[in-house]
Amino acid sequence: MPANTPPTPPSPFDAARQAAVGKAIEFTLSSISELGRHLHPGAQPWRKGVEVARDVPYREEPRPDGVDLLDVYRPEGVTGPLPVLVYIHGGGFRILSKDSHWMFGCGYAQRGFLVFNVNYTLSTTAPYPAAVEDVSAAFQWIVANAEAWGGNLSRLVIGGESAGANLALGLMIACCWSRPEPWARAVHSLGVRPDVVLPACGFNQVSDPARYLAKPDLPTWIRDRIAQICRSYLPDDAGDWESLAFADPLCWLEQAEPPEHPLPAVFAPCGADDPVVDDTRRLGDALQRFGSAVSAPIYPGAHHAFHAFVWREQAVACWKDMTAFLQEHLPTA
């Protein structure tokens, strides 16, 4: 399907309202993350038995803003070699960071992974493809350095949620298809491909917000948020599904020719009450075209990025299902 025109720029009043809502969302999510880290009894077990190395640069010359940093999580006292998991945080490309997504680093490390939790440029600083370029640079650094941290790249997973799911699928595309973009060529040339990809609650087509904005049942603040995310990340929609493969990985997977290298197994969970759940349903259908092992479970009563609220029933079920999928599809040591 061709990419569509971005939403019409809002009036000054609407823009101010959207900005206020965005800041409120960022404050609320960051606060919940921090309270969960320190106070919530259901989250406390997730912090046990995990070592963390913070703010490791993934470029030789880190930028002054500290964006090109990652955190490394690993099981405490384990020397390896460990399966490697690259995690890319969500936040609509606009907000949050590796720090707000500590629960994923801890959760996967407790399951025996060496986790690299990656920061990238937010769209409030620079639009697409800045985030893709950063994630690709981080992936290259991880491939070059994972062994020194006790990792085994022959057991490799890429994961992310929301915007991070979009970026994780982009890395998968770069690994499995030859693409002309410099960052994609650099990733492809490594010859390293994931065994499993975990794109949860993905916002996987940025160029066409109209598919959600036209839904009358969505609250105004959610429609505002979707429009703001798309306008900020992809302000100039000047391409089709092929040229926008790394902004719209869903469209690429729906229409591309078979990849040069087999696709990894994919586990793509989403909540039934997630405003962008249709992207996950489409993703499951798209991946079936290539014969890859795919599971795209929809969890009743669950909201966007529900599995980050690790103490809730749906999150517990999702982590259990995801762990079983990883055990089934990740090669044995």
pLDDT single digits (tens) 82-107: 999 999 999 999 999 999 999 999 99
Structure tokens at 16: 């101010």
Q: Which residue has the higher pLDDT, 1 or 144?
A: 144
Per-residue pLDDT of 245-283, as tens digits, reads 999 999 999 999 999 999 999 999 999 999 999 999 999
Per-residue pLDDT of 310-331, as tens digits, reads 889 999 999 999 999 999 999 9
**Domain segments of the chain: what residues?**
12-329
Nearest to 299 by CA among 285, 323, 316: 316
pLDDT of residue 155 exceeding 70, the answer is yes
8 A C-beta contact, residue 203 and residue 165: yes
**15 CB contacts (<8 Å, ≥6 apart)?**
9
pLDDT for 28 equals 53
Rg (alpha carbons) of the chain, rounded to whole number: 19
pLDDT for 44 equals 61
Alpha carbon 312 to its chain's center = 21
Query: Which CATH code fits 12-329?
Result: 3.40.50.1820
8 A C-beta contact, residue 25 and residue 95: yes
How far, in Å, CA of 196 to CA of 154, rounded?
11
What would the DSSP string read from start to end of 168-212? Answer: HHHHHHHHHS--SSHHHHHHHHT----SEEEEES-----S-THHH
pLDDT for 13 equals 54
Structure tokens at 32: 């919940």
8 A C-beta contact, residue 310 and residue 322: no
Nearest to 142 by CA among 18, 62, 59: 59
